[in-house]
């Protein structure tokens, strides 16, 4: 698989050091490239790891190797034109940056039809570095394709590259086609990954009164039986940057036990926190075991559950804040006795292991009601409008499998407050391919309301797949624990000063087919979304009044709604879901009664004017 020729040039870089490396990726048995776990297919309507390693059908020509990578691309639909395969991120090929001394990538193809073969490099932080295309000129024979990388040497995205993506048959297919790839060759500076952290993880900020600490310099730890009670790993205590850590070597699995008098009652806590640093990207599993009310191992009332984090980034601290509710197999957290780390192999530095309680982890009020009219929006998801876009997936099959998606969560327990929920997110792909692509050329804004208990960064990417692929991504530092309304000018996605990667601009928006949400902390942030739509106008700047300032009853109602307010109300205007005003009522008082006998059942929006400002509430007629 990866045959590496090293020169004697060592280049000093800010990340540490880099080695000029020639990557010659074959798929021969025993090589890195031959491991099916390093590759996965996507958008091919046949599941992951279809075909993959097969015998070379033509060893007498330019390609004499025994094994190649094969992907049978299925008809479109249900497959997509851009069906393909990709390496694990991060994976066995490590991390690299392009170097000016070598500016080409070559690969061999053996295909049944003439079509484009596209290649992309993806970095760990900013996404796509490039996407290049070449077409074969013959069929049923091996042919070498050459791609020019030189325009991307100075690309801002030329950092921390750790994924290769191949689209072997980019076309609208009427039937399935067999495609083989072999001998992917390019040169780059391989970024060396440190074997140990040089810094400590961030100091925890939870109040000590809210914490049960197993191991952390920031808190007083409870007593435990031991930190390596079973398993085959070796444990040592390390001090790095003045901070105490636990280092596990050859970590298959290990158990921290706190039994008997050390049993932990975490029933009043809602999160488990762990900081992890590892030089490898092996999966990391966390298991909690509760011994039950009798506090006895295998006493008949034990329960346990394991959560696996796939391929955590190597060479950096990762903070996991895991909702205890995600350990769905636990029937109780009142008698926790074991915390087990599972890695299969490799090394792990671990710090700041503690349970804690935090503020609200989910919204208890609905997202703000949007103000544009139905005629002014292309609606993907909102109770305020008729849906215009048939979204095929709100979590694509190429989204991380560790992310959990829940649909139509009633955040305040009433109809009309539905939102979509994602937990343990890294990035989430939303798909609406042709004929459901969005032509947003007449639109000026993309709108989404987002609520997160822990996101520090929230990103929105739009992808147009009409003539090739163009995309733009905007990042926001969002407030936590409240609905944040993003009305993003679509022009911003094509503005090099606004996007996260100036090389990737949404220069066309007549066939938008993907929407991608991502954020930080990577792999562990949770978020809710509502009111996802394109619009020709921005939402009105409605004032945010405290929920406690209003009381609406009954809601839903069959005959009338009563509104009580602690602030003088000037007027109430009522709109239906099409944006048509159906009632305007002067008030000039603290109470109002809205007669709805003449209205058909459904959802309505009341815009209340107070002191020259406005707010909106949802009303439901039975």
pLDDT tens string 584-609: 888 888 888 898 888 888 878 777 77
Position 14 scores a pLDDT of 34
Q: How far apart are CA 259 and CA 89, in angstroms?
A: 38
Q: How far apart are CA 122 and CA 99, in angstroms?
A: 16
Instruction: For residue 121, list its beta bridge partners.
Output: 130, 164
Which residue, among 534, 585, 593, has the nearest Cα to 563 in the 3D structure? 593
**CATH 2.60.120.260 applies to domain 19-191:** yes
- Computed over every residue of the chain, the mean pLDDT equals 86
208-356 to CATH, choices 2.60.120.310, 1.10.3720.10, 2.60.40.10, 2.60.120.430: 2.60.120.430
Position 618 scores a pLDDT of 75
pLDDT higher than threshold 90 for residue 3: no
Position 4 scores a pLDDT of 27
pLDDT tens-digit readout, 58-96: 998 999 999 999 999 999 888 888 899 998 776 778 888
**CATH 2.60.120.260 applies to domain 377-535:** yes
550-621 to CATH, choices 1.10.10.410, 2.60.40.1930, 3.30.499.10, 2.60.40.10: 2.60.40.1930
Position 226 scores a pLDDT of 96
pLDDT tens-digit readout, 404-448: 899 988 887 777 889 999 998 989 999 999 889 999 999 999 999
Distance of CA 521 to the CA centre of its chain: 10
Position 279 scores a pLDDT of 86
Q: How confident is the model at residue 195 (pLDDT cuts 50, 70, 90)?
A: confident
pLDDT tens-digit readout, 287-344: 999 999 999 999 999 999 999 887 777 788 988 888 898 898 999 999 999 999 999 8
pLDDT higher than threshold 90 for residue 242: yes
Domain boundaries, the chain: 19-191, 208-356, 377-535, 550-621
Same fold, 19-191 and 208-356: yes
Please state, for a pLDDT cut of 70, what percent of the chain lies above it.
Answer: 91
Q: What is the DSSP letter of 152?
A: G
Q: How far apart are CA 493 and CA 385, in angstroms?
A: 25
Q: Which two tokens stand for residue 491?
A: 């022009």
Whether residue 60 contacts residue 7, with contact meaning beta carbons closer than 8 Å, is answered with no
Mean pLDDT within 243-272: 95
Position 30 scores a pLDDT of 84
pLDDT higher than threshold 80 for residue 542: no
Q: What is the DSSP letter of 260?
A: G
Sign of CA dihedral 326, 327, 328, 333: negative
Q: Which two tokens stand for residue 93?
A: 């090929």
pLDDT tens-digit readout, 20-73: 788 899 999 888 788 887 888 888 876 544 568 899 999 989 999 999 999 999
Q: How far apart are CA 224 and CA 260, in angstroms?
A: 10
Position 58 scores a pLDDT of 93
């Amino acid at each position: 698989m990866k045959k590496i020729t090293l020169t004697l040039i060592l280049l000093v870089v800010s990340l540490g050091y880099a080695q000029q490396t020639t990557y010659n990726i074959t798929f021969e048995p025993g090589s890195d490239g031959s491991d099916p776990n390093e590759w996965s297919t996507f958008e091919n309507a046949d599941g992951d790891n279809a075909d993959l390693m097969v015998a070379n059908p033509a060893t007498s020509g330019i390609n004499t190797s025994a094994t190649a990578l094969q992907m049978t691309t299925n008809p479109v639909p249900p497959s997509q034109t851009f069906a393909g395969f990709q390496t694990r991120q991060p994976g066995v090929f490590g991390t690299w940056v392009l170097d000016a001394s070598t500016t080409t990538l070559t690969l061999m193809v053996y295909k049944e039809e003439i079509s484009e073969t596209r290649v992309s490099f993806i970095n760990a932080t900013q996404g796509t570095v490039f996407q290049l295309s070449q077409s074969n000129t013959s069929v049923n024979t091996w042919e070498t394709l050459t791609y020019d990388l030189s325009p991307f040497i100075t690309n801002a995205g030329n950092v921390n590259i750790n994924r290769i993506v191949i689209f072997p048959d980019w076309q609208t297919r009427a039937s399935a086609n067999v495609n083989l790839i072999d001998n992917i060759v390019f040169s780059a500076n391989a970024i060396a990954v440190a074997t140990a952290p040089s810094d400590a993880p961030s100091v925890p900020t939870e109040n000590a009164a809210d914490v049960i600490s197993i191991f952390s310099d920031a808190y007083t730890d409870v007593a435990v039986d031991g930190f390596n009670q079973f398993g085959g790993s070796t444990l040592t205590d390390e001090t790095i940057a003045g901070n105490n850590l636990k280092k596990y070597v050859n970590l298959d699995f290990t158990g921290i036990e706190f039994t008997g008098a050390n049993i932990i009652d975490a029933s009043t806590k809602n999160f488990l926190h762990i900081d992890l640093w590892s030089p490898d990207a092996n999966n990391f599993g966390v298991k909690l075991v509760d011994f039950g009310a009798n506090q006895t191992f295998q006493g008949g009332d034990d329960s346990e559950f394991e959560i696996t984090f796939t391929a955590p980034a190597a060479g950096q601290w990762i903070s996991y804040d895991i909702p205890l509710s995600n350990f769905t197999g636990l029937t109780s957290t009142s008698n926790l006795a074991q915390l087990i780390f599972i890695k299969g192999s490799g090394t792990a530095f671990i710090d700041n292991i503690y349970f804690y309680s935090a503020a609200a982890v989910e919204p208890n009020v609905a997202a703000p009601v949007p103000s544009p009219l139905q005629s002014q929006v292309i609606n993907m998801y909102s109770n305020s409008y008729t849906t215009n876009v048939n979204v095929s997936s709100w979590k694509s099959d190429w989204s991380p499998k560790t992310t959990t998606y829940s649909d139509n969560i009633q955040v305040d327990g009433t109809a009309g407050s539905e939102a979509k929920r994602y937990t343990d997110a890294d990035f989430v792909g939303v798909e609406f391919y042709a004929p459901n692509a969005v032509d947003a050329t007449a639109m000026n804004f993309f709108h989404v309301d987002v609520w997160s208990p822990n996101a520090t960064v929230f990103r929105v990417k739009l992808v147009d797949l009409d003539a090739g692929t163009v995309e733009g991504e905007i990042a926001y530092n969002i407030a936590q624990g409240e609905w944040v309304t993003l009305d993003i000018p679509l022009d911003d996605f094509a503005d090099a000063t606004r996007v996260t990667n100036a090389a990737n601009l949404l220069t066309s928006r007549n066939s938008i087919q993907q929407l991608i949400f991502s954020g930080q902390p990577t792999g562990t942030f949770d978020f809710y979304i509502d009111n996802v739509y394109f619009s020709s106008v921005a939402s009105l700047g409605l004032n945010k009044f405290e929920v406690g300032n209003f009381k609406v009853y009954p809601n839903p109602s069959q005959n009338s709604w009563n509104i009580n307010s602690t602030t003088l109300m000037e007027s109430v205007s009522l709109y239906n879901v099409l944006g048509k005003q159906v009632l305007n009522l002067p008030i000039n008082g603290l109470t109002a009664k809205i007669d709805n006998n003449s209205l058909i059942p459904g959802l309505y929006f009341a815009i209340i004017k107070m002191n020259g400002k406005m707010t909106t509430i949802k009303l439901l007629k039975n």
